[in-house]
Each structure stands twice: as structure tokens, then as C-alpha cells.
Structure 1
Amino acid sequence: MSEALQIFSTKGDLAHVALFLWASASSALLVWSLREQAASNQRFQDFVEEIARITRLLDG
């Protein structure tokens, strides 16, 4: 790993490595948040379906 950093630092590409790491982290965070949002939407849909089922049961 240190060899890779040595190569990038001698060629002046360390800023590109930092930008790549930032972009990768941002993309990973976006994917994680979209997955969490999808899971939240599914839980809410399940809740609404259960409420509708209870309402139908009580209305008879």
C-alpha cells in the first residue's frame, strides 16, 4: 500500500487519489441511503396493509 502512495505522491497524483476516495465514499453513501429509503418504504407499506386488514376485519 505504501508503494502505491509513494508512486502517486512522486507523480503528483495524490489529489486525484483523494478525489477518487471522496467520490467513492459519496457514491457508497448514496447507495446505502437509497437502500435504507427503499426498506423504509416497504415497512410503511406493510404497516398500511395491516391497518387496512384490521379495518376490513372490524367492518365485517
Structure 2
Amino acid sequence: MDSLIRTFAERGDLAHVALLLWALLASATCWRALNALTQASARMDAFIRELARFNAHFEDEA
């Protein structure tokens, strides 16, 4: 492991590895946020659909 780190440090590629790790982490965070937003949108859609069904049920009785 030490030789691997030394190789990257000598060639100056350690910054590239750090940048790659940062980009992967940022992409994963974005992906999770987008997934959570999609799920929240689906829950809101289900809520609105149930609310419309509830209103339609009581609208017929009035």
C-alpha cells in the first residue's frame, strides 16, 4: 500500500485520485437526492389522488 501511495505522490496523480473520489461522492449524493425527490413526488401524487377520490365520494352525497 505504501508503494502505491508513493507512486501516486511522485507522479502527482494523487490530486487526480482525490478529484475522482470527490466527483464520485458528489454524483452519488446527487443521485440519492434525485431518488428522494422522485419518491416524494410519487407520495404527493398518491395523496392528491386519494384527496380527489375522497372529495368525489362526498360530493355525490351532497
TM-score range with shorter-chain normalisation? 0.7 to 0.9
CA-atom RMSD, angstroms? 1.2
Q: Percent identity?
A: 34
Which residue matches 1:33?
33
- TM-score when normalising by structure 2: 0.85
Which residue matches 1:51?
51
Q: Distance in 1 between matches of 2:29 and 2:57?
A: 42
Aligned-residue offset at 1:12: 1.4
Structure 2 unpaired stretches of 5+: none
Structure 1 unpaired stretches of 5+: none
Query: Rg larger in 1 or in 2?
Result: 2
- TM-score when normalising by structure 1: 0.88
